[in-house]
Amino acid sequence: MPQDRMASFRASNQRAVAALEAVAAYAHTPPWQASSVPAGTGPEQDHDRLSRVLCGIRHLADQFYGLRFHQIRATADELYRRPRTAVPGSPAGAAAAAAAIDIYELVAPAQMRRPGSIWPLDTLAEFDGYASSRGISREEAVARLTAGLLASLRQYADHQGLDFGSAMAAGLRAHAQQCLSAYGPIDTGIVPDRRPAAVLSPPTEAPPFEPVVTHQGVVTALGDAEWLLIRTAARIGHAEQHGYLTSDRDLDDRRALAGALAGACSLPEADVLSQLTSKIAARVTEIERGPAEAARLGREHGRAGTGPYCDLDIDGDATALLSALGETEQMTDANHGYRVSLVIAYADAYKQASHNGPSAADSPARIAARYFPPQHLPSPQAGAPASPDAASPARITPRPGAEHRPRRRTR
């Protein structure tokens, strides 16, 4: 990883750690015990401080198991709208939110002990104590308290006369730019002559497309966002048609991509998905026919004596096969099983057509599992920020605790 990206990666990790410390500080200052909000430093400075901690919370949601940012926001909105009593999100919570901002500002600039170091163990112990006293998991405790802090930050904005929506938008823009600096833009792998024609188009004088962060990478172009939304929505649709569990991360990505495209094209999100219905359906059909197409290609190569597109008897790289089948998107746990089925169908058909017969040592599933391109965004183990060489996880929904995730080669 280039040095500049390494520095950005570490900075993003540290922002996540600082946000966790801010949540812990909030938990230590119950809103009903807070008396007054400290005097601000000025509207502009207070707005910047608020947007920075909101950006940190977004990084925390990327990196801590059990947090889904849109769910945290929804819970926070509900807390904010509750009758203004002594509960998280009440007016008194503004003082606790101010204390949390101070902690974030103190921790965020600090240097991490080492790249990929674990979350502070004493802080995790505090969350464990909170969770144990309420009979919930650590992850649920962090999610609950993070939502409470977010609601109280909105109360803090009210108290200080700040535009919370503007601060949130600024924080999310900063988060996207920081992720882009750390991981670079998503690589669709599509060669120019195979790039599908776009359906959506922005207004004539629309502002530039703003980067949108997904679990599959940072999308910087409207055409890439449309293509990725079609693929993501098709995976969800295919899973729903067959009664499979859908990936929470795919659901998050569908929401993020549809929202970004809606903003860029001045359309409601529902209209974005409606205009892409035919392409989503076509992609679902491709998924249905994929294993048969892989088998057809395997038979063709086996009969012709063409070199196989993946190693058949030992671990190898299946990139050539997947590219030939149009599977150029980033590997996720949602499409992992499908890609395994393609490799198995191809390998079995190739061996049968070339009269080699299946080998007991053959492991096409391991080929598929090890050699897909990794995700651009980190998916660290529970309780740890991602390390610079962290591989994408073995599963997406839900992320388990601290299990080992094998590294994978890139293309």
Q: What is the pLDDT of residues 108-144, one digit of tens each?
A: 987 765 555 579 999 999 999 999 999 999 999 999 9
Residue at 387: amino acid letter:
S
Q: Is the separation of the CB atoms in 170 and 51 below 8 Å?
A: yes
354-377: average pLDDT: 50
156-182: average pLDDT: 96
pLDDT at 390 over 50: no
d(CA 361, CA 200): 48
Q: What is the pLDDT of residues 327-349, one digit of tens each?
A: 988 888 788 889 989 999 999 99
Q: How confident is the model at residue 190 (pLDDT cuts 50, 70, 90)?
A: confident
Q: Is the separation of the CB atoms in 335 and 329 below 8 Å?
A: yes
Integer angstrom CA distances of residue 288 from 249, 282, 291, 294, 323: 22, 10, 7, 11, 17
pLDDT at 374 over 80: no
d(CA 120, CA 250): 30
CB atoms within 10 A of CB 221: 15
Predicted confidence at residue 221, as pLDDT, reads 94
Chain-wide mean pLDDT for the chain?
83
Q: How confident is the model at residue 357 (pLDDT cuts 50, 70, 90)?
A: low
User: pTM score > 0.85 for this model?
Assistant: no
d(CA 61, CA 397): 14
d(CA 265, CA 273): 12
d(CA 29, CA 313): 60
Q: How far is CA 141 from the centre of its chain?
A: 21
Residue at 334: amino acid letter:
A
Task: State whether residue 212 is helix, strand or coil.
Answer: strand
Lowest mean pLDDT among 204-218, 253-267, 365-379: 365-379
Predicted confidence at residue 282, as pLDDT, reads 97
261-284: average pLDDT: 96
d(CA 189, CA 330): 9
Q: Is the separation of the CB atoms in 230 and 284 below 8 Å?
A: no
Q: If we measure between CA atoms, which residue out of 339, 402, 350 comes closest to residue 373?
A: 339
pLDDT at 307 over 80: yes
Q: What is the pLDDT of residues 45-54, one digit of tens each?
A: 999 999 999 9
Predicted confidence at residue 392, as pLDDT, reads 34
Quote the percentage of the chain above a pLDDT of 90. 62
d(CA 64, CA 69): 11
SS (H, E, C) 217-243: EEECCHHHHHHHHHHHHHHHHHHHHCC
Residue at 245: amino acid letter:
L
Task: State whether residue 169 is helix, strand or coil.
Answer: helix
Predicted confidence at residue 410, as pLDDT, reads 36
pLDDT at 377 over 70: no
